[in-house]
Amino acid sequence: MSTLILNIKQLLQTHESNIIILKGEEMKTLSMIENAYVYIDHDTIIEYGKMEDYRPIEADNVIDATGKIVLPSWCDSHTHVVYAGDRTSEFVDRINGLSYEEIANKGGGILNSAKVLQDTSEDELYDQSIKRLNELIAMGTGAVEIKTGYGLTVEAELKMLRVIKRIKQESLAVIIPTLLAAHAIPAQFKSKKQDYIKLITEKLIPEAADLNIAHFIDVFCEEGYFDIEDTEAILKAGKAFNLQPKIHVNQFNILGGIALGVKHNALSVDHLEELNDKDIEALKGSDTIPVALPGCSYFLSIPYTQARKIIDAGLPLAIATDYNPGSAPSGNMNFIVSSACVKLKMTPEEAINAATVNGAYAMGISNMYGSITRGKKANLLITKPMNHYSEIPYAFAHNPIEQVIINGQLL
C-alpha cells in the first residue's frame, strides 16, 4: 500500500541525512519545507520535497493536505499505560489538601494501584490498557514506552510484561517495554526493604529477562522509595541481563540519581522537577537524555522541570506524558507540547523537537522514527487546517490532529 500526501502547507522535521538527537541550540530550529509533498510506500518514507519539484507518482491513496501541517507522530518516551482501575478518590483528596506523600503514607498511591492490578485478570488488564493506547494513537502518538511497576509482586510484574507484549503484537504503534522493577515498597516489606530489593534482583529481574520482553530497567530513585545504593544495586542486576537503565529521578528531592544514571549509561533520566548545577554538569558529555514530564507537574502542582537551564547548557531534552493513574492521568501529547511552551518556557520549535526526534531517542528508536527522512518509518500526523505550526501548542485545549498514519497505514 502506498500513500501520497500533496499540497502540504508545512512539512516539519525534514532531514536529508538521518538525525537521532538534537541538543541545545539545535533544538531552536525546526527544519521545514513549505508547500510540500511526501510519498510513502508500505511503511517507509520514500520521497519528499517541494511541490514545485514534484513529478507525478502513482499511489494507492492520495491525500490533499492543502492548508494542513504534516509532521512525525509524537514519541511518548515515558508512560505507565498498563494499569487497572483509577485513583479518582485520591484526586479529590489532593483537592482537599493532602499531599502526594501523605496519600501514599495512608496506603494510597502506587500501593493502591498495585492492589487493584494484582486482583485484575490478565485479559481485563489488556482490555483496559489497549483501550487507553488506542485513544493515545488517535491523538497523534505513534511510539510509546510502557513501564511495569504497578505489580509489586513477581507474578504481577510478569503479568504486566505479558500484557505489554500482547499490546506490542496487536498495535500498529511502536511499543517499547520497560521493567520498572522498583516503583514502590510493598506494605509487607515496609520494614524489610533489603529483602524486597533481593527479591527484585534475584528473582524478578531474572524471570522477567527469561520472558525476553523488556528493553530497559527502571527505578524510582526518591526519598521514601529507593535511595542511591538501592538504585545502583537494581541497575547493576538489570544490566547483567542486558537491560539498559532508565531512571525516575529528582521528582521531589535531589539524591544524586542523575550522576548515577550517567555512570551506568542510562538512556534517559526522567522527571527532573528538582535540578541543580551538579546535575547539569553530570549530563554534559554523556549519551543520557533528560526527559521532562510537565503533565505530572500540572496535576500534582509541583515545580516544572527547568527546561531553559537544560537546553541553554547545550543539552538535549525530551518531553513525555508520564501517563499513569495517580500523578498524570492523561496521555495527550498535544497538551504536553503546549505545556512545554507555556510552563517550561520552550519555544514551539523546541517543544516539537522534544516530542519527536528527541522523544524517539529517549526510547532508543530515533534511527528509524521521529523525523521525515528517506528510509525512516512512516509514522506521521496530518493536522487540521492552520496557518502555522505554532498553533499546535497555542490552542492548548483543542485537538489539532485530523489524520494519523502509523506504519504507513492511514487510521
Taking only the tens place, the pLDDT of each residue in 197-253 is 999 999 999 999 999 999 999 999 999 999 999 999 999 999 999 999 999 999 999
C-alpha separations of 147 from 41, 83, 114, 175, 183 in Å? 32, 10, 13, 10, 10
Task: Give the single-character DSSP code of 71.
Answer: E
How confident is the model at residue 408, as a pLDDT? Answer: 94
Cβ-proximal residues to 234 (8 Å cutoff; 6+ apart), any chain: 181, 182, 197, 200, 201, 205, 217, 219, 226
Which pairs from 398-404 meet CB under 8 Å and 24+ separation? Answer: 399/139, 399/334, 400/334, 401/138, 401/139, 401/140, 401/334, 402/68, 403/63, 404/73, 404/137, 404/138, 404/140, 404/142, 404/380
Residue ranges in the chain modelled with pLDDT below 50: none
Give the three-state DSSP class for 314.
Answer: coil
Residue 327 contacts residue 112 (beta carbons within 8 Å): no
Q: What is the Cα–Cα distance from 252 to 271, expressed in whole angstroms?
A: 9
Cβ-proximal residues to 48 (8 Å cutoff; 6+ apart), any chain: 11, 14, 33, 36, 37, 38, 39, 372, 374
pLDDT tens digits, 276-333: 999 999 999 999 999 999 999 999 999 999 999 999 999 999 999 999 999 999 999 9
Half-sphere exposure of 159 (CA within 13 A, CB side): 22
Residue 343 contacts residue 314 (beta carbons within 8 Å): no
Q: What is the Cα–Cα distance from 333 to 352, expressed in whole angstroms?
A: 10
Q: Using alpha carbons, select from 303, 235, 232, 233 the residue that is nearest to residue 271.
A: 303
Burial class (CB in 10 A: 0-12, 13-18, 19+), 59: middle
**Grid-cell match 551506568, residue found:** 264
Q: What is the Cα–Cα distance from 307 to 256, expressed in whole angstroms?
A: 19
In sequence order, which ranges of 193-227 are alpha helices (DSSP H)?
Answer: 193-199, 205-211
How confident is the model at residue 106, as a pLDDT? Answer: 74
Cβ-proximal residues to 322 (8 Å cutoff; 6+ apart), any chain: 78, 79, 80, 270, 271, 293, 295, 296, 328
Task: Give the single-character DSSP code of 28.
Answer: G
Provide the 10 A C-beta neighbour count for residue 305. 27
Cβ-proximal residues to 179 (8 Å cutoff; 6+ apart), any chain: 147, 148, 157, 161, 204, 205, 208, 214, 216, 217, 218, 238, 243
C-alpha separations of 172 from 142, 272, 286, 287, 319 in Å? 8, 31, 32, 29, 22
Burial class (CB in 10 A: 0-12, 13-18, 19+), 242: exposed
Q: One-letter amino acid identity for 99?
A: S
Read off the C-alpha cell for 204. 524478578
